[in-house]
């Protein structure tokens, strides 16, 4: 009888332990998120700690891998939207009957999974990942349309084009707000509301659009696409008149400066293909300047090289030369230098400018938005920056990762001139592809209106603006009407390690964003002097870029492969050219102390939160 009771107690305890283990392995879900597949005994081939066996959960939003046998627990949480490719690979090193999957991500990392081939339940991993990582190709909706989180702030109201133009003093006697594109017939990738000179007629705008690539006319004062001059130097009287009208709208200007972002040789090549640029004979009162910036294909190749040297292996002996070999910082320098020239012509020269590349896409938006950021202090606030993204990027349809990097470089040179912090920028980039919010869905305003994005999805700004303190720069000083001219020199630029190399623990400690009471970093290569260590020095909670974790603590024994937080900051006035780095932990000092420190001209650091 005692044996039966004991056996029953053991069975009950085993059942409780089993249930507890199952609960620990469960993936946390967002409101509206549903599980599509759960597979046990999947092996994640971690490039830093080796093979880790755990449970893989695939939902309609993320891939969630967890191992609860390790201490701390090992978690891999990847939004399906960041996956760019899923491929089957061999895994002979783990047995003849095993196979694997390689997952190529858009956030600078590749992931590998292995599993036993004979277990039929696991054969659906590849199919499930492919199906839910690319929902539109498989007849499904994006998760953003199912996400049901509630926020106290409506982020869709951060930008109203008419209100924003009024803030800039428009309309006035020289400029008017036009709705000629209200049905997106003039240019389907432009917003419905644009600003044009008051004397310009709608019929003339239609002819100008026909003369510009993809119908992208000079709009919102500074941007357009290349003219379709062609090898025969075709002209358009309406386009010439339109640019003259832009110059005439500025009473202080006697010349219109046209900045062509392209290389001169590329512009000549485009001319032979039907494109081209503005000639002095056709535009006598305009001055054309080439900024010699490479196209998006060159930038992508540079980013690919950067990924190769940053993940997973880092060559310590050749790190600086490898970074230089990617030319990434050189391309950032080119963009900043071009934006400085544009801002200087507008501010110091009081000159009207027109900016374009081939189609008025990436380089054009990067240059105009950076110039606006330099010229207008409002755009350096949190809500102003959100409005700038809506105005210059989302309304016109672009991707802007390189732009965010340039903004980060400016925050390094002018650390108290921006209201937002580094986490704000990283959060924006993380949700560029996450498909959690509707902010970055679709390619242009027309498509978003067609899909009813603003009513069926949640804006990223709803999440951010509901907890502004988490994304605020405690050193911010509102320098109104101050123009910033960053130093566009390689000696003043640096690789954004906290973003590009955040997945590599050899470059930055890996921590759970939402819980800093325990920080864990590890690398198995002890000969490199990097070992597993734990620290209890970080006592302040750092916000997580994912709303699911906001306001909630992770278990103390949870190790989460989340982005590393910013560990450095600067305490210098934005009017100073030289900057120095100081370690201040995680800005754990009180906000009152921080604001006092920000007003001091000397460098200050908190000794209790210092990393050497």
User: Domain span at residue 415?
Assistant: 155-490
Cα torsion 435, 438, 444, 450: sign: positive
Mean pLDDT score of the chain: 78
Q: Does 461 count as an annotated binding residue?
A: no
Confidence class for position 546, pLDDT limits 50, 70, 90:
low
Q: Does 361 count as an annotated binding residue?
A: yes
Highest mean pLDDT among 139-143, 224-228, 394-398, 608-612: 139-143
Domain C-terminal end among 455, 490, 525: 490
Same domain, 190 and 233: yes
Q: What is the mean pLDDT of residues 399-424?
A: 94
pLDDT value at 12 more than 60: no
Strands (DSSP E) contained in 186-278 are 194-197, 223-224, 256-260
Encoding tokens for residue 98? 């095993």
Encoding tokens for residue 333? 């320098």
Is there a contact between 259 and 341 (Cβ–Cβ < 8 Å)? yes
Bond preceding residue 43 cis, omega within 30 of 0: no
Q: What is the pLDDT of residue 472?
A: 98
Q: What is the pLDDT of residue 336?
A: 98
pLDDT digits over 13-44, tens only? 444 444 444 555 689 999 999 999 999 989 99
Q: Does 176 count as an annotated binding residue?
A: no
Domain C-terminal end among 490, 525, 542: 490
Same domain, 115 and 191: no
Beta strands 352-356 and 73-79 are: unpaired
Beta bridge pairs of residue 62? 79
Burial 502-513 (b: 16+ CB within 10 A, else e): bbbbbbbbbbbb
Encoding tokens for residue 204? 């003339």
pLDDT digits over 317-328, tens only? 999 999 999 999
Report the percent of the chain where pLDDT is more than 90: 47
Same domain, 392 and 280: yes
Same domain, 321 and 461: yes
Q: Does 20 count as an annotated binding residue?
A: no
Q: What is the pLDDT of residue 466?
A: 98
Q: What is the mean pLDDT of residues 210-215?
A: 85
pLDDT value at 451 more than 80: yes
CB atoms within 10 A of CB 451: 17
- Residue holding tokens 């978003």? 448
| Closest by CA position to 388, among listed 153, 194, 158 | 158
CA distances from 489 to 117, 152, 397, 576 (A): 54, 43, 30, 15
Q: What is the pLDDT of residue 558?
A: 41
Q: Does 363 count as an annotated binding residue?
A: yes
Q: What is the pLDDT of residue 97?
A: 57
Active-site annotation, residues:
357
Q: What is the pLDDT of residue 491?
A: 96
Q: What is the mean pLDDT of residues 248-260?
A: 87
Confidence class for position 131, pLDDT limits 50, 70, 90:
very high
Burial label for 139, CB within 10 Å (0-12, 13-18, 19+), is exposed
**More confident call, 90 vs 553:** 90
Indicate the range of 471-475, 492-496, 534-538, 540-544 predicted with least confidence: 534-538
Same domain, 108 and 214: no
**More confident call, 471 vs 285:** 471
Number of independent structural domains in the chain = 2
**More confident call, 124 vs 152:** 152
Confidence class for position 509, pLDDT limits 50, 70, 90:
very low
CB atoms within 10 A of CB 215: 22
CATH number at residue 91: 2.30.29.30
Same domain, 111 and 176: no
Indicate the range of 84-88, 303-307, 334-338, 581-585 predicted with least confidence: 581-585
Q: What is the mean pLDDT of residues 241-268?
A: 85
Same domain, 448 and 393: yes
Q: What is the pLDDT of residue 530?
A: 33
Q: What is the pLDDT of residue 67?
A: 93
Same domain, 261 and 378: yes
Is residue 508 one of the residues assigned to a domain? no
Q: What is the pLDDT of residue 505?
A: 83
Q: What is the mean pLDDT of residues 357-377?
A: 85
Is residue 503 one of the residues assigned to a domain? no
Same domain, 331 and 382: yes
Same domain, 411 and 288: yes
CB atoms within 10 A of CB 101: 20
Q: What is the pLDDT of residue 1?
A: 54
Q: Does 97 count as an annotated binding residue?
A: no
Q: What is the pLDDT of residue 562?
A: 43
Same domain, 302 and 346: yes
Indicate the range of 15-24, 372-381, 546-555 predicted with least confidence: 546-555
Q: What is the mean pLDDT of residues 203-210?
A: 90
pLDDT value at 356 more than 70: yes
Confidence class for position 447, pLDDT limits 50, 70, 90:
very high
* Helices and strands per DSSP (H, E), number in the chain: 18, 18
pTM: 0.80
pLDDT digits over 268-310, tens only? 777 667 776 678 778 888 898 999 998 888 999 999 999 999 9
> What does the alpha-carbon distance between residue 325 and residue 309 come to, in Å, rounded to a whole number?
10
Q: Does 362 count as an annotated binding residue?
A: yes
Encoding tokens for residue 124? 């659906």
**More confident call, 415 vs 94:** 415
Same domain, 182 and 95: no
CA distances from 501 to 115, 249, 427, 508 (A): 28, 47, 15, 7
pLDDT value at 205 more than 60: yes
Instruction: Classify 293 as helix, strand or coil.
Output: coil
pLDDT digits over 50-82, tens only? 899 999 999 999 999 999 887 778 899 999 999
Beta bridge pairs of residue 89? 100
pLDDT digits over 568-604, tens only? 333 233 333 333 332 222 232 333 333 333 333 222 2
Confidence class for position 543, pLDDT limits 50, 70, 90:
very low
Domain C-terminal end among 434, 463, 490: 490
| Closest by CA position to 28, among listed 448, 569, 548, 401 | 548
Is residue 574 one of the residues assigned to a domain? no
Burial 194-206 (b: 16+ CB within 10 A, else e): bbbbeebeeebbe
């Amino acid at each position: 009888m005692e044996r039966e009771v004991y056996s029953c107690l053991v069975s009950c305890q085993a059942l409780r332990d089993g249930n507890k283990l199952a609960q620990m392995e469960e993936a946390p879900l967002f409101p509206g998120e549903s599980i599509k597949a759960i597979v046990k005994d999947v092996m994640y081939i971690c490039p830093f700690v080796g093979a880790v066996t755990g449970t893989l959960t695939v939902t309609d939003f993320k891939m969630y891998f967890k191992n609860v046998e390790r201490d701390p627990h090992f978690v891999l949480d990847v939004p399906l939207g960041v996956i760019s490719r899923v491929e089957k690979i061999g895994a002979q090193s783990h047995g003849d009957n095993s196979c694997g999957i390689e997952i190529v991500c858009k956030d600078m990392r590749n992931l590998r999974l292995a599993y036993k081939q004979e277990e039929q339940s696991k054969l659906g991993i590849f199919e499930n990942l492919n199906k839910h990582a690319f929902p539109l190709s498989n007849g499904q909706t994006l998760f953003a349309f199912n996400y049901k989180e509630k926020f106290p702030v409506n982020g869709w109201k951060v930008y109203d084009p008419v209100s924003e133009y009024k803030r800039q003093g428009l309309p006035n006697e020289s400029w008017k707000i036009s709705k000629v594109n209200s049905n997106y017939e003039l240019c389907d990738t432009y917003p419905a509301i644009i600003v044009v000179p008051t004397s310009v007629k709608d019929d003339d705008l239609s002819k100008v659009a026909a003369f510009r690539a993809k119908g992208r006319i000079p709009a919102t004062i500074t941007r357009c696409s290349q003219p379709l001059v062609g090898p025969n130097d075709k002209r358009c009287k309406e386009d010439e008149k339109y640019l003259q009208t832009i110059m005439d709208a500025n009473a202080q200007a006697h010349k219109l400066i046209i900045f062509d972002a392209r290389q001169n040789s590329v512009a000549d090549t485009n001319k032979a293909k039907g494109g081209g640029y503005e000639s002095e004979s056709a535009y006598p009162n305009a001055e054309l300047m080439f900024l010699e910036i490479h196209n998006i294909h060159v930038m992508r190749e540079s980013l690919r090289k950067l990924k190769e040297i940053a993940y997973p292996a880092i060559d310590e002996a050749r790190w600086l030369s490898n970074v230089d070999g990617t030319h990434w910082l050189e391309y950032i320098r080119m963009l900043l230098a071009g934006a400085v020239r544009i801002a200087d012509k507008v501010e110091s020269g009081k000159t009207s400018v027109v900016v374009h590349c081939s189609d008025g896409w990436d380089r054009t938006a990067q240059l105009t938005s950076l110039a606006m950021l330099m010229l207008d202090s409002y755009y350096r606030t949190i809500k102003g920056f959100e409005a700038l993204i809506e105005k210059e990027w989302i309304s016109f349809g672009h991707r802007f990762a390189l732009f965010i990097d340039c903004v980060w470089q400016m925050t390094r040179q002018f650390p108290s001139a921006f209201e937002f912090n580094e986490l704000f920028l990283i959060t924006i980039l993380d949700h560029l592809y996450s498909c959690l919010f509707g902010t970055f869905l679709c390619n242009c305003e027309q498509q978003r209106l067609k899909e009813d994005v603003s009513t069926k999805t949640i804006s990223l700004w709803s999440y951010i603006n509901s907890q502004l303190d988490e994304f605020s720069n405690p050193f911010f000083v509102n320098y109104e009407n101050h123009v910033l001219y960053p130093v566009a020199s390689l000696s003043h630029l640096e690789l954004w390690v906290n973003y590009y190399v955040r997945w590599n623990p050899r470059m930055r400690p890996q921590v759970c964003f939402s819980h800093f009471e325990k920080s864990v970093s590890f690398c198995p290569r002890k000969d490199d002097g990097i070992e597993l260590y734990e620290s209890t020095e970080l006592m302040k909670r750092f916000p997580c870029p994912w709303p699911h974790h906001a306001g909630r603590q992770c278990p103390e024994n949870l190790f989460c492969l989340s982005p590393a937080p910013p560990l450095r900051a600067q305490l210098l006035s934005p009017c100073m050219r030289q900057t120095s780095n100081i370690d201040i932990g995680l800005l754990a000092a009180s906000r009152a102390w921080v604001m006092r420190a920000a007003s001091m001209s000397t460098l200050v650091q908190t000794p209790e939160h210092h990393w050497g």
